[in-house]
Each structure stands twice: as structure tokens, then as C-alpha cells.
Amino acid sequence: MKLLARVLMNGLGLVAAAYLLPGIHWQGGLGALVVAGCVVGLINLLVKPIVSLLSCPLLVLTLGLFYLVINGALLLLADALLPSLSVDGFVWAILGGLFLAMFNLLLRMLFGESEE
């Protein structure tokens, strides 16, 4: 049940980002939303730790601000994998990654879900 909630949170975050940010576009139904949530979740689970580890010197040098670039690059990866998602450029990807991070943080604070 917790996994399904995370998948739906990721998908809803993408749709919310598409509605609020003019450089991110979403077209798809509920099935595409679940697939998008799974793809974003898998990217965050598998790719993000490796990229974060490899970019550790840049993260230290920029005091963590390089995470914005990492999140933007991962959103562009999701854009490449999902036909229902379209991101207009790297700046919009960075803003979308920031929005998704804040969206997930807010939902975790509201529903009391811990990082595990």
C-alpha cells in the first residue's frame, strides 16, 4: 500500500507540475499517470543514488545546490522515457525537479510518511 501511495504521489506531482509550470506539458489518462509514477519512482530509486554519489564533490562545492541540476537531469530522463510528458528545456526541468521535491516533501509532512 505504501508503494502504491508513492507511485501515485510521483504521478500527481508530475501532473501538478504540468499545470503550474508552463514549460512542462502532460497529456495522458490515469493509466499513463500510474506508469509515470512508476518511472519517476524507479529513476529516483536506481539512478539518483548513483548520480549523487558520482557528483559528491560538486555537491560539497556548491553546498548541495547541485541537487537542482541532478533533479532537472532526472526529469529530462523521465521526459525521454515517457511519451505523455514533455519538458521544454533544461531550465524548466530544473524548476520542475524543484517543484517535485517540494511537492513530495509537503505530502510527506501532511501524511506523516517517513523516509525509509
Given a contact cutoff of 8 angstroms between Cβ atoms, the answer to whether 86 and 25 are in contact is yes
Given a contact cutoff of 8 angstroms between Cβ atoms, the answer to whether 14 and 41 are in contact is no
Given a contact cutoff of 8 angstroms between Cβ atoms, the answer to whether 110 and 96 are in contact is no
pLDDT attached to residue 1: 64
pLDDT attached to residue 115: 54
Write out residues in the chain with pLDDT < 70, as ranges: 1, 113-116
pLDDT attached to residue 113: 63
What DSSP state is assigned to residue 22?
T
Give the contacts of 44 (CB within 8 A, at least 6 positions apart): 10, 74
Q: What is the pTM of this model?
A: 0.86
**CB neighbourhood size of 7 (10 A):** 20
pLDDT attached to residue 32: 86
